[in-house]
Amino acid sequence: MNPATGDPARRSRPAPRGTASYQRKRAVKACQVCRARRTKCDNLKPSCSFCLKVGAVCIQSAEDLSSFDPASLKILERLDSLEQLMRSSLPATDEQGPPAKKRARPTTSHVDPPEAQVGGTRVDVSMVLPPSSEEMLSWSYSVDDTGTLELQHGTPQHHVSSPPGLVAVPEDPRLVKALLDNFFNYVHVKNPILDEVSTRRMVLGKAVEGLGFDWSPESCLALLICALGSLATPFGPSPDTMPGTAAYAHAQAYFQAAQKRMGLLFVAEDIIAPQCFFLAGVFMMCNFQSTKAWRYFVQALVGCQEFKFLTNAPGRPDQLDETPHQAIYWSAWKSEREVRGDVRRPDFLVSDHDTRLYPSFFPTPPAPRADAVRMPLMEADQTREQISWYFYLAEISLRRLTARVSAEMVAMMETHASRHMFLESMAAALSSYEAQANEWQASLPPCLSLEAPPEQDDVCRFVLRGHLINLYETLYWPFLAVFLDEEGLGLQTGALNAFSEQAQRGLENHMARLLVNKAGYHHRHHGTDPLLRSCSRTALTLLAMSRTQGARGGGGLSQALHLLAFWSPETDRYSEVRVTLCRGLAEAKSHNYRLRGP
C-alpha cells in the first residue's frame, strides 16, 4: 500500500490463461486440405500448389481466423469434421431445403433397400390401404384446413345414463312383445346368434307370465333384447329413437338394468354369457360408443374360447349342437375386428388385412329343432330367418375376400422397391381382384341381389352394398392416393397418366358411396358409426381431390356435412371433420373450385 495516498499499489492484471504458454499471432489462412494435413499452404488462387498437384478441390475459407488462438482453431477443425460426418449420414434430399407440404405418414419398421430410391418413392401402408379420417386430417393440404380444434377420439356423451325420473324398467307384456318383434325383425336379422323360438319363450315368460326380471343371466339377456328392440326400427329414418323420445328412454332403462346383472356373466361358462356381452356391444354401437362396444365384443370373444368346436381336434363338429356356438363366435370375432381398427389400442394392433387369424370355417345354418313344433314360427318369420342366414354368410365371405385382397396388396407393397413398381404390379392384378368381387356379387341369392337400384334396398342389401363399396375403395386407393400427395404428383406425367383411369374409378366409387348410403343417413343401427367413418373419409378424399385436381364432388361434401351434423348431438368425434369440410366448401366458393355435385 502506498503510504502517501493510502491506495493499493498499482499492478498490472495477470495475463490471460491462454497466453501463458504461447504468444498470439496471426493464424495462417490455410485451405481446408492443407489444414487437415497440417502442412503449410501457399494460399495461391484459385487453388494452392498442393491441391493443384493432387487434383483436390481447394476450399479456402473466406472467414478471417487471424483472431483465433491455436486451441480455438483446433476446436473449429473438429467441428468441421463433425459437420462433414453428419452431412454424409443424411439422405441427399435433406440437403435440398425444406420439403414441400406432404401428408404425414406413419413410420415403418422395415429398412428400404438401396434401389428403393430408383424409379420413385418408397411405399408405405398409407399409399396402399385407405387411411382413417383422423390420419387424413393430419395431411397438410392447407395451413388453415383443420384449425386449432382438438380432435376427440372418444365419444364423451352422457346419453347412456339412466334418464331422470325413470327408475323402473317397463314390464308391460304388450310392450315387451312388440320389442321382441322389433328385435328379431331389425336387429337379429343381421347377426342370428339366438334361437328365436326358445328366446321368445324365455322373454315372454319373464314378462307375460308374471315371472319378472330377476337377477339371472336369462333376465340380463331378456333386458338387452328389450333395450335393442326399443331402438330398432324398419330401415329408414329413425326419428322416434332420438334422445328425448320415450323409446330412447326405455332403451336406456332396459340397458341400465341389464348392466346390473352382468357381474355373474364373467364367471358363467355357458353360451348365454357371450351372447349377452355381444348384444351389449351392439347396443353401445347404436349409441356411438365404439370404445365401450369393443370392450364388450372382446369379452364376448373371450367367453367363446372354451367352446368345444374350437378346442377339439380337427374335424366336423356336430352341426345341430354347435350352430349357436359358431354363430356367436363369428359375430363376436368379426365385430371385435371391425371396431378394433377404429379404437386402435396399443396391445391390439393386428390390422384387418391380416388373414392369419380368420376362422377357417363358416357358421352352419340351424337345422329344424324338435321343440319348434310346440311354438312354430310363422311363414314370414321362417322366411326372415332364412334371409338372415343368407345375409350372415354373404357378409362373412365378403369380409374374408376383403381381408385376403388387402393382405395380398400389403405383401405386394413389401416386395417392391418403389411406388411406381408397386402401382404397375397392382394395375396388372386389378382385373383379377375386380373379377373376384363380381363373382361374389353374382353368387348372392335373389333375396339379396344387388342388381336392383339402391333405392329399393332393405337393410341387409344396404349393408352388403356398403361393404362391397369398401372393397372397391381398397382396390382403387393406391391409384387415387397418387393424385393426393406431393410425392405422388412428383412422378412423371406419363406415369400419372398410366394410372389415371384407375384413379377415376376410385373417385367415382367414393361418390357412389355417398349416394348409396344416403338412404341410411338417419337410420340408427349397429353400423351407423362405421357409416359415419367411411363417409367422412370419402368427403375428405373428395375435398383433397378438388384442391389438387379440381375434381367434382361438392354435392357429396354437402351431403356428408348433413350426415355428420344430424348425429352431432350424440357424438362429437367428427367435429373436426365438419370444420374441415365447412372450410373446404367456403374456400371453394371464394377460389371458384370446381365442386360440382356427383
Q: Which residue segments constitute the domains of the chain, with CATH numbers given?
A: 26-64 (4.10.240.10), 125-149+416-591 (no CATH), 173-368 (no CATH)
- Least confident range from 155-169, 223-237, 402-416: namely 155-169
pLDDT band at 490 (very low <50, low <70, confident <90, very high): low
Report the pLDDT averaged over residues 431-438. 96
Cis peptide upstream of residue 46 (ω within 30 degrees of 0): yes
pLDDT tops 60 at residue 268: yes
Q: Which of 444, 356, 359, 363 is nearest to 406 (CA)?
A: 356
Return d(Cα 206, Cα 176) in angstroms, integer: 10
Task: Return the DSSP state at 519.
Answer: G
Residue of 291, 245, 252, 238 whose CA lies nearest to 566: 238
**Cell 323402473 sits on residue:** 168
Contact call for residues 503 and 482 (beta carbons, < 8 A)? yes
Name the maximum alpha-carbon separation found in the chain.
Answer: 133
Task: Assess whether pLDDT exceeds 60 at residue 117.
Answer: no
| Average pLDDT value for residue range 264-278 | 92
Check pLDDT > 60 for residue 199: yes
The predicted pLDDT at position 293 comes to: 97
Q: Report residue 587 as a C-alpha cell.
A: 374456400
Q: Where are the alpha helices (DSSP H) in 290-378?
A: 290-303, 308-311, 319-343
Q: Give the integer Cα–Cα distance in Å for 418 and 66.
A: 51
- Compute CA distances 389 → 191, 392, 490, 546, whole Å: 8, 5, 49, 42
Reduce the DSSP state of residue 221 to 3 states and report it.
helix
Residue 176 reports pLDDT greater than 70: yes
Kindly tell me if the per-residue pLDDT of 145 is higher than 50.
no
User: CA 404, CA 292: separation in Å to the nearest integer?
Assistant: 28
524-534: average pLDDT: 95
In angstroms, the CA 449 to CA 390 distance is 11
Give the total residue count for the chain.
Answer: 598
Handedness of CA 186, 189, 191, 193 (dihedral sign): positive
Q: Which of 180, 259, 171, 194 is nearest to 226 (CA)?
A: 180
Percent share of the chain, pLDDT over 70: 71
Question: Which tens digit of pLDDT belongs to each residue from 4-44?
Answer: 545 555 555 555 554 545 455 555 578 888 887 778 888 88
Q: Is 407 helix (H, G, I), strand (E, B) or coil?
A: helix
pLDDT at 3 over 70: no
Q: With the C-alpha atoms ordered 323, 324, 327, 333, is the resulting torsion angle positive or negative?
A: negative
Work out the burial of residue 14: count CB atoms within 10 Å of its CB; fewer than 13 is exposed, 13-18 middle, 19 or more buried. Answer: exposed
- The pLDDT of residue 165 is 43
Enter the C-alpha cell of residue 4: 502517501
Q: Which of 184-188, 262-266, 319-323, 341-345 has the lowest mean pLDDT?
A: 319-323
pLDDT score of 72 = 74
Cut 0.85: pTM above it: no
At residue 52, the pLDDT reads 79
Q: Do the Cβ atoms of 103 and 484 come closer than 8 Å?
A: yes
> Residue 59: what pLDDT?
80
Helix (H, G, I), strand (E, B) or coil at 561: helix
CA angle 419/420/424 to nearest 5° reads 115
Query: Shortest CA distance to 132 belongs to which of 406, 355, 344?
Result: 344
Query: Residue 17 has what pLDDT?
Result: 52
Per-residue pLDDT, 441: 96
- Tens digits of residue pLDDT in 450-478: 999 998 999 999 999 999 999 999 999 99
Per-residue model confidence as pLDDT tens digits over 40-54: 888 887 788 888 777
Long-range pairs for 99-106 at CB < 8 Å and ≥24 separation? 99/486, 100/486, 101/140, 101/141, 101/486, 102/139, 102/140, 102/485, 102/486, 102/487, 103/136, 103/138, 103/139, 103/140, 103/141, 103/484, 103/485, 104/135, 104/138, 104/139, 104/140, 106/135
C-alpha cell at 476: 382403387
Average pLDDT, the chain: 78
279-282, Cβ contacts within 8 angstroms, sequence gap of 24 or more: 279/221, 279/224, 279/225, 279/228, 280/224, 280/255, 281/332, 281/335, 281/339, 282/187, 282/191, 282/228, 282/335, 282/526
Which burial class, exposed, middle or buried, applies to 479 when counting CB atoms under 10 A from its CB (0-12, 13-18, 19+)?
Answer: buried
Query: In terms of Cα–Cα distance, which of 32, 86, 87, 33 is closest to 63?
Result: 32
Over residues 555-582, mean pLDDT: 91
Percent of the chain whose predicted confidence (pLDDT) is above 90? 42
* Residue that wins the pLDDT comparison between 272 and 110: 272
Cα distance between the two ends of the chain: 99
In terms of Cα–Cα distance, which of 491, 487, 574, 496 is closest to 539? 574
Instruction: Give the CA radius of gyration of the chain.
Output: 34
Distances (CA, A) of 304 to 310, 311, 317, 333: 8, 10, 15, 9
Give, to the nearest 10 degrees, the angle between helix 500-517 and helix 459-482.
150
> With bands split at pLDDT 50, 70 and 90, how would you rate the model's confidence at 236?
very high
pLDDT at 142: 43
Instruction: Quote the pLDDT of residue 87.
Output: 65
pLDDT at 331: 93
Mean pLDDT over 62-80 rounds to 69
